[in-house]
Amino acid sequence: MSEVKKIGKNSLMSYIARASDLVVGIVTMSIIARYLSIEFFGNYMLVMTCGWILSTIVNMGTEQITVREISRNKEEASGFLVNGIFVNFLLFSICIAIYSLSIPFLKLERVIIFALYLNFLSEAMKAYMRVIISVFIAYEKMGYDALLTFLARVIVLISTIAIIYFKLDFVYLFVSCVAGSGTGLLLGLIILLKKFVVPKIEIQFSRLKYIFVESFPVGINIISQQFYFYIGVYVVKTLENEAAVALFQGPNKLVTLFQIIPIALLAAFQPLMSRLAVSNTSSNKFEYVYQKSFKFLFIISFPVSVLGMVLAHKIILLVFGVGFKDAVISFQILIWAVNFIFLDVLLTFVLTSINKQRLLILGNVTCVLTNLILSIIFVKKYGYVGAAWAALISYGVVFIIDFYFVTKNLKCAPLKQGILQPVISSLIAGFILYSFHSLNIVLLFLCGMIIYLGLIWALKTFTREERQLFRSIFIRT
C-alpha cells in the first residue's frame, strides 16, 4: 500500500500547488484592478495575455514528455532536462524574434513595449522552472512543486502590494513577475542540484528532435484548448456587445477553473501510469488505474454539475455580483461541461502515457471548428446563451473523440459499476437543496455534500477493495 499512500500524498501536494497558484493569482489581479485606471488595466491585461500565449508556445508540452520519460528511466533525467530546457529556449528565441518584428506595426507606447519584454522574460523563466519541476514530479516529490509554485506567487503578491503602497509606475508590476519567476527558478535549480541530479550540459540533436516531435502534439493540444475555451468570446464580441461577452465569459471562466481538480489529482498518477504503459507485464494494472480514475472523476464531477445548476443564482451573485444576474442561465448550461472537462483531462493523460498524444490533435481541432461554427449560428439567434450551448456541445465532441481513441488503444471501457449511484445520489441531493434554496449558500453546499456522500456510501458505490484503498491513504497503519 506504500504506492497508494505516495499517490495520496502527492495528490494533496499537487492540489496545494494548483490552488495556491489560482487563489493568489486571483487576489493579485483583484488588487491590481483596483489600483490601475481602466485604461491601464486594459494595457495590463494585454501584456499578460501576450505573456500567457508565449508561455503556452514556449512550454509546448515539454513538461509532460519530460515527466513521462524520466518516470520510466531515472538515468535519463539529465539528458531530458537539459535538452528539454534547450527546446524551450529555442522556442522562446523564435517567439521573441517574431514579437520584436511585430511590435513596430502595433504602435504601442514605449512603456508597454518594455512591460512586454519584462513579462516575456518572466514567462520564459516560469517555463524553465516547470521543466525542473517535471523532474520532481517524475521522482514523485510533488511537495517541491507546491513549494516553488506558492513561493513564486507570494513574491509577486507581496511585491505588488509594495508597488501599490509606494505608488510606483505601471511597469514595476512586471518587475514583480520577474522577481517571482526568477526566485522560483533559482530555488528549483538549487533543490535539483542538491537532492536529485547534477545535469550534464550536453546538447544531443537526436534527443532534441525526439523531445520536440513527442511534445509538439501535446503543445498543439494545449494551444487548441485555449482556442476552444475562448473562441466564443470573440464571436460574441463580434456579433453582440461587451455586456454579452461578460455574461458569457464570466461563467465560462468559472467553469474552466474546475480543471484544477482532475489535473491536480492525475499529476500524482502520471509517473505511475507512464511506467505501467511500457511494462509488458503491467497492461492490466494500467487499465485498472484508468478505470478506477474514470469512476472516481465521474463521482466528483456529476454532483458538481447538479449542485451547480441548483445553486447557480447564488453562485453568480456571490462571485460576480448583482450586475451579472443575467449570467445565471449561461452558467446553468456550462456547468454540465464539468463532466466532459474532468474526464477529458484523464483521457489526455492516458493518451500521452501510451505515446499516442498525436491523436489528441484531431479531437481538439474538431472541437475548435465545432465551437466556431456553432457559436456563429447560435449567437446570431440566441445571443450569449447560444455561445454557452455551443461551448457545451464542443466540450462533448472532444470528449467523445478522445474517449474513442482511448477505448480503441486500451481495448477496454470504463467500469459500469458505480456509475448509476452518483447520478441517483446527485439528483436526490439537488432536489433537497432546491426545496430549501432560500438558505445560505455555504450551508446549502455543506448539506448537499453531506447528503451526497451519505447516499453514495449507502448505495454501495465503492467496492470493498476501493474502501480499503481509501483507508490505506487516510489511515496510518
* pLDDT tens digits along 10-49: 666 766 777 777 677 667 766 776 677 646 665 676 677 6
How does pLDDT run across 154-182, given as a tens digit for each residue? Answer: 898 899 899 888 888 888 888 998 999 99
Q: Which residue has the cell 484523464?
A: 346
Listing DSSP states for 206-221 in one string gives: HHHHHHHHHHHHHHHH
Report residue 340's pLDDT band, with 50, 70 and 90 as the boundaries: very high
Amino acid letter, 228: Y
- pLDDT over threshold 80, residue 378: yes
Mean of pLDDT values over 202-206: 83
pLDDT at 428: 92
Backbone torsion region of residue 355, taken as left when φ is above 0, otherwise alpha when ψ lies between -120 and 50, otherwise beta:
left
pLDDT at 2: 55
Report residue 1's pLDDT band, with 50, 70 and 90 as the boundaries: very low
Tell me the three state secondary structure of residue 258: helix
Average pLDDT, the chain: 81
Question: What percent of the chain clears pLDDT 70, i.e. is strictly above it?
Answer: 85
Q: Which residue has the cell 472516481?
A: 296
pLDDT at 270: 67
Listing DSSP states for 347-411 in one string gives: HHHHHHHTT-TTHHHHHHHHHHHHHHHHHHHHHHHHTHHHHHHHHHHHHHHHHHHHHHHHHHHHT
Most confidently modeled of 25-29, 55-59, 209-213, 341-345? 341-345
Compute the distance between CA of residue 143 and CA of residue 14 in angstroms, rounded to an integer. Answer: 7
CB-hemisphere CA count at 13 Å for 316? 25
Mean of pLDDT values over 241-266: 76
- Provide the H-helix boundaries in 107-171: 110-138, 142-165
DSSP 8-state class, residue 463: -
Report residue 338's pLDDT band, with 50, 70 and 90 as the boundaries: very high
Compute CA distances 456 → 291, 299, 416, 436, 467, whole Å: 18, 9, 15, 21, 12
Question: What percent of the chain clears pLDDT 90, i.e. is strictly above it?
Answer: 15
Compute the distance between CA of residue 170 and CA of residue 376 in angstroms, rounded to an integer. Answer: 37
Cα torsion 148, 150, 155, 158 to 10°: value is -170
